[in-house]
Amino acid sequence: MTRTARELLETTTRELAPDPGSNPLIPLIARGEADRAVLAALALEQRRVIPADRRAFLHLAERADPKSAAYFTALAEGETLAAEHLETFTAACGVDETRADAYTPLPGCQSYPAYVAWLALNADPSDVVLALTANFSAWGGYCATIAKALRTHYGFTEEPCAFFDFFAQPSPDLDRMATEAVQAALDEETLNEPRAHQYAHLLQTYEAMFWTTLGETS
């Protein structure tokens, strides 16, 4: 029986859901046991990730069919807004521009955006839609946990939490665009599911590497 795009997205997300033990840092943040220096490092790493991902999404949009292009353009616009929220969080962590400029990013944290850039250059955009959508589910859950912990255990006010709130909130429009993009690829028989699964698996692996590396800074 032919699967719909919605069924494929849900199945892929479920199959590639990360092992709860693959992220040792999020439980520490959830309990308020992570050092504030880790939060600062998180902000500094994301200052490199967000603009890199934005440029990668724009490049994917340029290479993609109309449905996938709409999805990647929306992602890039979201990264622009997230960057503004990130500045507020970074300042709340006590990081000024001098410290930010002097910071040396961690290879384990920057492997994720490096791979997204590789996908932007080498992968079929339709396959990337499926891979990214599966990965975003885990990222959104992490952000929801962090947003709650920042308020509960670290005394952050609403504005510094907006970066994590932004990614934690479901986006029906983005979900619709992803579904339409995958459906168009299915209809045109251009979607390579095994390859998309490989991409998604690597994204999840690099995601786990990001958090493990960050946790080692504490």
For 46, the 3-state DSSP assignment is: helix
Tokens describing residue 202: 């690597």
Q: 207 with 142: CB under 8 angstroms?
A: no
Pinpoint the alpha helices (H) of 21-169: 25-31, 36-63, 66-92, 97-102, 107-122, 125-152, 158-168
Q: CB within 8 A of 27, min separation 6: which ones?
A: none
**Domain 39-215 belongs to what architecture?**
Up-down Bundle (1.20)
- The mean pLDDT value for 47-75 works out to 97
Over residues 107-149, the pLDDT tens digits come to 999 999 999 999 999 999 999 999 999 888 889 999 999 999 9
Q: 78 with 162: CB under 8 angstroms?
A: no
The reported pLDDT for the residue numbered 2 is 62
Tokens describing residue 208: 């786990």
Tokens describing residue 1: 């029986």
**Burial of 158 from C-beta contacts in 10 A (0-12 / 13-18 / 19+):** exposed
DSSP 22: G
Domain boundaries, the chain: 39-215
Name the pTM for this structure: 0.94
Residue 1 has pLDDT above 50, yes or no: no
Confidence bin at 19 (pLDDT 50/70/90):
confident
Over residues 78-91, the pLDDT tens digits come to 999 999 999 999 99
